[in-house]
Structures are given as C-alpha cells and as structure tokens.
Structure 1
Amino acid sequence: MHALRAAAAGRTASPSTARLINDRIALQLLQSEGPLTAGQLTSLTGLSRPTVADLVDRLQAAGLIAVVGESGARRRGPNAKLYGIVADRAHLVGLDLRAHSVTVAVADLLGRVRAERTVPIGPDDPPGRAVATALAALDAALGAAGAGRPQAIAVGAPGLVDPATGRFGGTDWIPAWHAALVGALQDRTAAPVLLENEVNLAALAEQRDGAATDRDTFVLLWLGHGTGAAVVLDGRLRRGASGGTGEIGFLPVPGTDGLPTAGGCDGGFHSLAGSAAICALAAAHGLRPGPPAPGAAPDADAGADTDADAPPAESVVRAAVAAGGGGDAFLDALAARIALGVAAVCAVLDPGCVVLGGEIGRSGGDALATRVAGHLARISPLATEVRAGTVGGRAVLHGAVLAATDAAQNELFAPAR
C-alpha cells in the first residue's frame, strides 16, 4: 500500500497526469477490494478528502463507478455511500481455439463470465465455414450476455505467436481457420484483438487465480494432447524473439528413438510425455483408460499435436491415481519422464517452481507432482518446487478472459484528460 500512496501523491506529475494516476489507483482498489466509501478510498490511497471527492465525481461522470449501497456507519452522509465499478459499462470476449472446436466466453468489466458457447468445427470444414461457425457462436454469446460491441477480445490458440506482429508464426500444423478467424475478428470490430499462445494464457490463469499466485517466477509445464511450457520471470511472461519460448516438445531428451526436426517434435520431449506416449506407457503397465470425469471439459491442444482424437491419456492417468497402489508403477515411470523435461528447463532458468498443467497435470494432481519432484531432486541440484495446477481444464479460456479484461480496463480506466 505504500507504493500506492507514493504513486497517488503525484508530486512530480502534472495536474492532469496526477488525476489519471489517482483515478486508476481508485479503480484498481474498487476492483480488488470491492465497493468502498469515499472515506475508505481516502485512507487506502493517502489522498486528501477533496481530491477523492473530485475523482469520485469524475469516475461517476464517466460511467465507470456508481453508488451501490451504504456502509454500516451510523452517521449518514456522502462518505457513507458505497461506490463500486459499473461492471456492465463494457463487455469483453475470450476465445479458446482448438483443432476441432471453439469456445467463446463473454464477460463484464470485472471479468465475470456472463455467457459462454462451444461449437464443434468439422475436420473437413473449409476455413470459410469454420470462421462463420465461430462468429455465429460469438454473436450468440454476446446476445445471451446482453452485450453489444466488445471492448476487447483475447484469443488463445496453439502454435507460435510473433511478439513483434501479434500474428501467427511459422507453424504449419495450425489449422488454417485459426488465422482466418483472427483476421475476421479484426475486420468486424474496432476493439483490440489480442492473439496469444494458449499455454501462455493458462500460465496467466495459474498466476492470477491458481497454483502460482504467490510466485513472481515460475514455469507452467503443459501436459495435454501435446506438451508445452510458459515462462514467467519476475512477474512477466517471456515469449522469446519469435514467440517460441516454451516449445518444450522439441527438446532433445534421452529415452526417445531419435531427434526432433524443424518440421516436427517426434523424437523430442513430446515423444516421452505427449498423450500417445503416455497411453503406450500405461498399456505397458497393464492400465486402460477409465470413463470421462463427470462434467470434464477437454483441454486445449498444446504443442504440435492438434488431433482431437488423440489417445485419452487424461483418463489413463486419472485411473492410475484412483487405483492406489495398482497405479504406482505407471505414475512413477511417467514422473521420471516428466522430470527429464523439468530438469532441462530448470538448468537454464532456475525458476524455483514448476506447475504441472494441462489435462495430464490436472488428472495426476498432487500424486504425480510429488513423484516428479522426487525424481527431479535426484537429477538436478537446484531446489525446485513442483506443484499441480489448480485452475483446471478451462485454464486457457480463463486466461483469455483475464487478458481481455486487462485490455479493456487499460482502455477504460484512463479517463480522458
């Protein structure tokens, strides 16, 4: 809070800049703390009562805040009014693109999801039809939420996203309709359309609301149909020169039959920890897939494997955990494989914490994370905590909503001078 007070003082800023800073701080407090009185804003920001009264008037005039009730104070007056952000002042959109489906979520200005739609995309659908299907789902979700033009749109998709251009990089395995849909979204709205690698968005979700809320530096290891990773250092997501940070599926590791190539990750870590490899390992241990988890939603397709009919590794891992001692040998063998990739990442980055996400990380939970930590301690001298992801199977969509919320608030929470 000392940093907020120092920023709010604005001693070296021009009057207009100081007003912008003060307004933004007040809005951030209203978002994080919920409705507050003018007196509480005065106390939390360190600003004077007249300054707070002015900013409250400005934010009300801009339609960003409104009186939402009264405090429990006995004395009635202006300071007893509770002010809150007008959540319906704007709406935003998060999209999770997969090989054969798209999920759309429409949220309010506080990031609360108001409507959601998921539609399948046929494997033989031409790009134009796939785009039309996705846009129809978006329109249906906007209508269900009672929303008009979105303030911001964030899209999570597999593959490389060039940090310089915000467009897809050279990933030949990405469905053509993904890029076509992003272009269509940009053409139909003046709102910013943010494209981000899906695993990076999952890391954002774990950082804000999941297993890494107490960590400024960590790596999310995505274990789904394919493999991937997201790197957060000193609180910042690191994408790399070409957007390729975390393409761990291409990492050469012992235990495979060859080496990956520029055109495919077979022979890399993907061949040890991808879905097909996990199912083969399970079969060697006499394990078969169990039934789908009640209400389970499939994770996004990370890495190069975008086949929606990939072997059901999630249910195999879940069955092994449920089997108790009967699944121990398989889980230990899988953990040893995963630890190879984790050790390589730690040797370069030393993140101190690795979160196991994706469908495999979620299904394995603490039982798998504990085993990975044990193997890692034997092959790496670096102290590294291994945690199971907690956001769940909708991590990519949740991260997309968070990214869109940030973009919308950045635009709206800076009232005009």
Structure 2
Amino acid sequence: MNGRDRNPSSVIWKDPRMPASPSTARAINDRLALRLLQDEGPLTAGQLKTLTGLSRPTVADLVERLQGSGLVHVVGESGAERRGPNARLYALVADRAHLAALDVRTHGVCLVVADLLGQTLAEATLPVEPDAGTGPAVEQVVALLERTAKEAGAERLHSVAVGAPGLIDPASGELRDTSGLPAWHRELVRVLAQRLPAAVLVENETNLAAVAEQRLGAARGQDTFVLMWLGQGIGAAVVLDGEVRRGASGGAGEIGFMPVPGTSGLPSATGCDGGFHELAHAGAVARLAAEYGRPGGAEEAVRDADGPFLDALAERLAIGAASVVAVLDPGLIVLGGELGHAGGQLLASRVRRALSALTPLATEVRPSALGDGAVLSGALLTARDAAQDELFGPKA
C-alpha cells in the first residue's frame, strides 16, 4: 500500500523518497508501542512484537528505552507464557502526568482530575451565582480545582482542558468575548494559565462533545459527521475527515443563526431570533410541548413524549438538519445536548424519517450516547491527548 498504512499494527509510514532516520524511526516505534499500551492495557514484549510487527531485538530496545524514560513499568507476569523477559507485563505509568478537565456552564462548573490513562481520580461540581462577580467567581472555580487536584494526589497538573460555550478564536486559541455569556468564563482561562504550571487549553463545548462522541459514543469510528447540540442554545460541531472544523473565525456550526422557514423573521448579526434557534431551543420546545398538552420543562417533555408531539418536534429539527446536510453531506447527524439525549432513539428515528423527505442525501440520525457528560469526557480526552503528544514524542 502506498502512503500511510491505516492498519494499527503497522509501524512506520514508508515513503521511499524520504526514508526515516534511525532516531525518527525509534521515536515513531516508541509512540506506537505507547499507544498500544494505552489502548490494549498491559502487554508482554511478545505481544508488542506481534501487534507492531517489529523484531524481537527492536521491541526489547524500545521497552528498555521507555522504562528508562519513566513512561513504562513492569506490573506483573503473564501466566500464559514462559517465565522470563517475554513474560513480563508492561504498562504505562499512570501517574507520570495528571490531567484536569472542566465543563464550564453559565451558572456553574463540573471538573474531573485524572491520570495519564484517563482514569478519574477525583471530581467535583460548583454552582456559581449569577451575581457572584467576575473575580469571586473565578477564585471559587480555581480554588475548587486546586483542592480537587490535591485530594487526588496530583501535586502538579500537566494539562488542563476547559470546555465552555462561545467561540474560540482560531488564531489565538482564546475564548472570544460573546454577548450573553458571563465575563468570568474568559477570565477563568486567563487566571488558570497564570496560576497553574500546566498547559491550559480551551475549546467550544459542542466541539468537545463531538470529540467524545467520536471516540467513545454514537459516532465511534466515523470520520465525518455533525453533532447538533439541542439545549438552551443551539449549535453544531462539524467533523470532516476526522478533524473538528472551526471555520475562519471559529464560528463553524453556529446553526442557530440559519434562516429557516417557520420563524418570525430573519436572524441578524446581533441575535439569532428568526433563525433555527427560534424553532429548536429549549424554550421553544417547551412551548411546543404545551401546545400538545405537555406542560413543564423541555427536557422532561421530550423524555416522556408521545407520538404527535415528537413528530412535530422532529419536523422542526429536520428543517435545520436539512440545511446542514445540503451543505456538508455528513452521512451522520448525532442529536446531542440535553434535548437530543433525552429524546433518544424515538426522536432520532423520527428526525431521520422527516429529514429523508427533505433531502435526497442519505443521512443517518443517532441520539447522543454520552448525554450531559459528553463535554467533560471530550475535555478529558483533549487534556490527555495534549499530555501524550508531549510525553510520547513524534506521531507516526
């Protein structure tokens, strides 16, 4: 096969025009072995040889190197193999780096501290009152993170990933100043970067949910899909060829602003009233539910819905989905956010049926598999990837 072999047991990208130097080959092989130890758990040298296709001496050398670097250690022996070097079980050193992930919402934050394997060591939540003030709100969150890290035995955090509503500037990587969102969101990221001896990353919450759904949930194994976030706000994450696409200004996926039929007018540069948001956000869904005799909150109404109400809601959601499909042809739409998850397969199947009447492009529709935890899971994956990119060396 020319170019990059996608078989995970392959070792090196073979390009006869640019052969890898010995040092580059070692780094690539080391990283491959580390990824296998990450994904497959403790392995013997013999198992690493089989999975990588490397020679026995090469595997022995890389295991010795990785042990010397403090990334790998012996955790036991495999009873299925003869005693000796090949019977030793090697694993990643989980406490080689500690990570933190934060899901920042309008009125609070959830966070988790984990090890290099992504195993949760401690977690916490904190409500933030609307009138708390920017400085006090930031101090509350930072203190919570520091306290939780200490409880987890993480004296020093390596990478911290923050998921927040709003746009991320693709040039600076910073959370942009967005009207309607608390000022403490932007200030929190700045203070974390100043106070912590860690790499601090920030990403839009919907994009992080898509990362989690792709790696662990409803879009697992899919290189191209769109996650539609249905909640108090409306948005989308666009994943094309395995990469989250943010757009020239960081605004890819702002589907709440899409002009669609059935609204009171047109959206504007300063507000999404008149756009798809007007049809699909939680308040609109609650009002639609009330029309069908289902008073109460939107999430409750969607979770316990009957046929006529779900059909009406599905038709609304299909209008926005059809515009997305016409432009991107993603093949898969995941319904995320609290409403997408609450609706489950009953809502997803109805949206798929309504969507098929609006577009000739075959599109599967699935509910989120991770629900409200998708943002935090995506943030933790992002923090882990950042730590591993630094510790594991060059990618193949």
The answer to whether residue 351 in structure 2 is matched with residue 344 in structure 1 is no
The answer to whether residue 195 in structure 2 is matched with residue 195 in structure 1 is no
Three-state SS of the structure 2 residue aligned to 1:92 is strand
- 304, 315, 330: which is aligned to 1:319? 304
Amino acid at match of 1:400: A
- 332, 350, 357: which is aligned to 2:311? 332
1:232 corresponds to which residue? 239
Report deviation, 1:4.
4.3
Amino acid at match of 1:106: V
CA distance in 2, matches of 1:90, 1:152: 8
CA distance in 1, matches of 2:211, 2:75: 30
Question: Counterparts in 2 of 1:100-119, with a 5 A limit?
Answer: 100-119=107-126
Three-state SS of the structure 1 residue aligned to 2:372 is coil
2:186 corresponds to which residue? 179
Three-state SS of the structure 2 residue aligned to 1:7 is coil
The answer to whether residue 159 in structure 2 is matched with residue 152 in structure 1 is yes
**Contact kept in structure 1, 2:11 and 2:28, CA below 8 Å:** no
Residues 236 and 74 (structure 1), Cα distance of their counterparts in 2 relative to 1, 3 Å cut: closer
1:302 corresponds to which residue? none
Three-state SS of the structure 2 residue aligned to 1:196 is strand
**Contact kept in structure 1, 2:318 and 2:354, CA below 8 Å:** yes
CA distance in 2, matches of 1:195, 1:185: 11
Report deviation, 1:319.
2.2
Amino acid at match of 1:384: T
1:264 corresponds to which residue? 271
1:51 corresponds to which residue? 58
Report deviation, 1:10.
9.3
Report deviation, 1:145.
1.0
The answer to whether residue 353 in structure 2 is matched with residue 374 in structure 1 is yes
The answer to whether residue 387 in structure 2 is matched with residue 387 in structure 1 is no
CA distance in 1, matches of 2:47, 2:81: 15
Q: How big is each residue's C-alpha offset from its partner over 1:237-284, in whole Å with a ceiling of 9 and x where there is no partner?
A: 101011101011111111110111111111111100001100000111
2:282 corresponds to which residue? 275
Report deviation, 1:175.
1.0
Q: How big is each residue's C-alpha offset from its partner over 1:191-248, in whole Å with a ceiling of 9 and x where there is no partner?
A: 2111100000000010000000131100000101111100001111101011101011
- 18, 21, 26: which is aligned to 1:14? 21
Report deviation, 1:2.
4.1
**Contact kept in structure 1, 2:11 and 2:32, CA below 8 Å:** no
CA distance in 1, matches of 2:140, 2:229: 28
2:3 corresponds to which residue? none
CA distance in 2, matches of 1:8, 1:145: 39
CA distance in 1, matches of 2:7, 2:225: 26
Residues 86 and 8 (structure 1), Cα distance of their counterparts in 2 relative to 1, 3 Å cut: farther
Three-state SS of the structure 2 residue aligned to 1:379 is coil
Report deviation, 1:73.
2.9
Three-state SS of the structure 1 residue aligned to 2:91 is strand
Three-state SS of the structure 1 residue aligned to 2:357 is helix
Report deviation, 1:174.
2.0
CA distance in 1, matches of 2:154, 2:40: 26
Report deviation, 1:9.
7.6
1:246 corresponds to which residue? 253
Report deviation, 1:288.
2.0
Amino acid at match of 2:376: L
CA distance in 1, matches of 2:121, 2:195: 22
**Contact kept in structure 1, 2:100 and 2:157, CA below 8 Å:** yes
**Contact kept in structure 2, 1:8 and 1:46, CA below 8 Å:** no
Report deviation, 1:112.
1.3
**Contact kept in structure 1, 2:226 and 2:332, CA below 8 Å:** yes
Point out 4+ residue stretches in structure 1 off by more than 3 angstroms.
1-4, 8-11
Alignment gaps of 5+ in structure 1: 290-311, 321-326
TM, length-normalised to structure 2? 0.95
Amino acid at match of 2:352: A
Three-state SS of the structure 1 residue aligned to 2:157 is coil
Residues 189 and 228 (structure 1), Cα distance of their counterparts in 2 relative to 1, 3 Å cut: same
Alignment gaps of 5+ in structure 2: 1-5
Three-state SS of the structure 2 residue aligned to 1:195 is strand
Report deviation, 1:188.
1.3
Q: How big is each residue's C-alpha offset from its partner over 1:11-63, in whole Å with a ceiling of 9 and x where there is no partner?
A: 82122111111110000010111111011111111111111111111111111
**Contact kept in structure 1, 2:176 and 2:186, CA below 8 Å:** no
**Contact kept in structure 2, 1:8 and 1:47, CA below 8 Å:** no
Q: How big is each residue's C-alpha offset from its partner over 1:117-156, in whole Å with a ceiling of 9 and x where there is no partner?
A: 1111110011100000001110121012110111101100
Report deviation, 1:190.
3.4
What is the RMSD of the two structures over their aligned residues, measured on CA atoms?
Answer: 1.5
Report deviation, 1:71.
1.0
Deviates more, 1:225-234 or 1:70-79: 70-79
The answer to whether residue 6 in structure 2 is matched with residue 5 in structure 1 is no
- 56, 66, 82: which is aligned to 1:75? 82
TM, length-normalised to structure 1? 0.90
CA distance in 2, matches of 1:339, 1:333: 10
Amino acid at match of 1:227: I
